[in-house]
Each structure stands twice: as structure tokens, then as C-alpha cells.
Amino acid sequence: MEALLSNVDWSEIGIASWDTLVMVGMSLLFSVLIGLPIGVLLFLFGKRQLLEQPAAYAVLSFVVNVLRSVPFIILLIVMIPFTVMLIGTSLGVAGAIPPLVAGGAPFFARLVETSLREVDRGIIEATQAMGANVRQIIFGALLPEALPGIIAGITVTAITLVSYAAMSGVIGGGGLGDLAIRFGYQRFQTDVMVITVALLVIFVQLLQMAGDRLVLYFSRK
């Protein structure tokens, strides 16, 4: 056992794990902050919805679709000049975050739109009948009612971001993916590869479990 893992640099793995956590955490935060309002707008502009706006819906939906249809590995590369402009570098943990958000936010926006559509129309109608304005309908009724669905969406987005973050190792993004590529692939250190994969599996499991618990906690149906 000692011999098998002798060439594993544990401090390197610790740093990489932390980097992955930071990348996923930061990009999840921004994906939610950007994706949530976009999702709400997509819902409101939709057909027969509160602020029906076919043109605005078409534009927003197109942008979201474009970002979602580009394979993430391509998006990583396409985003490089933009990332440099935004934060000065396209390398390391910081450099990975903008492309991760560009991939995560539109994904999350669609999930938000879907979970808002699941809210019973009758509840919107009842809230309107109470004399609520659009802002009150969104914050008082729609978002609280869709909360379990939105939390499930955050979980799915977080897990997607874990695999995207691993991919960003390709362009020197840091984290467990970067480690797996540099040691596991380029130096043929299979043990490092196995450890990074195991850590990623554990990470995803923990995310899913935490998400499921939160959904259950907020579900009143």
C-alpha cells in the first residue's frame, strides 16, 4: 500500500481539492445570481404568462440556447479573450470561473424557468385576485412555491459545475481536473488519477445528498 501510493503528493491533492471547491463554489454562486433572474424573466416573458413578451423571450431564449449548445470544452477556449479582459488572466482558479459561469448560468436559468412553470396557475390567479402587483407575485408566491424545484436545480447545476471544473484543467484551470491531467495522464501516475476520480465521486455524492435533504425540508406538498 505504502509503495503503491508512494509517489502521491498529498499536499498537492489537498490544494487541488480546495481549488475545485473554490471553483465550484464561486461559479455556483455567480451562476445562481445571474441564472435566477434570467430564469424568472424567461418564465414571465413566456407564452400566456404575466409579462408575455414574445420578442424578448425569443432573444433571451436564443442566447441561453447558444451558450448551452456549445460544448463546454469549446466554451472554455472561446471564452479565453473575454476572461483575460474581465480578470486579467485565463489561467488558474480565477481564470476558470468566468467560463464556468458562462456554462452554468444559462443551464440554471432553464431549470428555474421549468420549476416556475410547475407552479399551479391557480396560485398566480389567486394572488392576482388579492391585488398583488407583479413584484409581489414573484417574491410572495412564485419563488416560495417553486423553491424546492429551484433548490433541486441548484444541486443539478452544482454537480454539472464539478465536471465542468474538472474539464477546465485542460486550459490550465487548476483543481482536481488539472491534477488528473498533469499527473495521471501526462506522467502516467494512475494512482493520482484514481484518487482524484474518487474525490470527485465523493464530492458529487455529498452535493446530491445535501441537495436532496434541502428539497425535502422545503417541500410542503
Partner 1 sequence: MIVFDQVQKSYQVGGRAIPALHPTSMTIETGEVFGIVGHSGAGKSTLVRLINLLEPPTGGRILVDDENITDYDAAELRAFRRKVGMIFQHFNLLSSKTVADNIAFPMKLAGIYTRSEIRERVEELLARVSLSDHANKYPSQLSGGQKQRVGIARALACRPTILLCDEATSALDPQTTQSVLRLLADINRELGLTIVLITHEMDVVRRVCDRVAVMDAGEVVEMGAVSDVFLHPQHPTTRDFVFESESIDRDELQEDLQKANGRILRLTFRGESTYKPLLGSVARESGVDFSILSGRIDHIKDTPYGQLTLSLVGGDLDVAMNALEAADVHVEVVR
Please report, as ranges, the residues that interact with partner 1 according to CB under 8 A: 120, 122-123, 125-133, 136, 140-141, 144-145, 147, 218, 220-221
H/E run at residue 96: helix 92-117
Residue number with CB closer to partner 1 (79 or 151): 151
**Alpha-carbon span 118 to 121, nearest angstrom:** 8
Please name the residue that has the C-alpha cell 474518487.
198
Q: Closest CB to partner 1 among 19 and 145?
A: 145
Query: Which of residues 30 and 218 has its CB atom nearest to partner 1 in the complex?
Result: 218
Nearer to partner 1, 84 or 147 (CB): 147
Nearer to partner 1, 53 or 128 (CB): 128
**CB of residue 43 to partner 1, shortest distance in Å:** 17
Q: Which three cell numbers stand for residue 197?
A: 476520480
Q: Dig out the grid coordinates for 177 from the structure.
A: 481536473
Q: Rg (Cα) of the chain, in Å, rounded?
A: 20
| Shortest separation between residue 51's beta carbon and partner 1, angstroms | 13
Are 108 and 33 a contacting pair, CB within 8 Å? no
> Which of 54/88 has CB closer to partner 1?
54
Task: Report the distance separating Cα 141 and Cα 53, nearest Å.
Answer: 21
DSSP secondary-structure letter at 186?
Answer: T
The contacts of residue 212 (CB under 8 Å, 6+ apart) are: 155
CB of 128 to partner 1, least distance (A): 6
Nearest approach in angstroms of CB 218 to partner 1 is 7
d(CA 164, CA 11): 23
Query: Residues 6 or more apart from 66 whose CB is under 8 A from it?
Result: none
Minimum distance from residue 136 beta carbon to partner 1 (Å): 5
- What's the closest the beta carbon of residue 123 comes to partner 1, in angstroms? 5
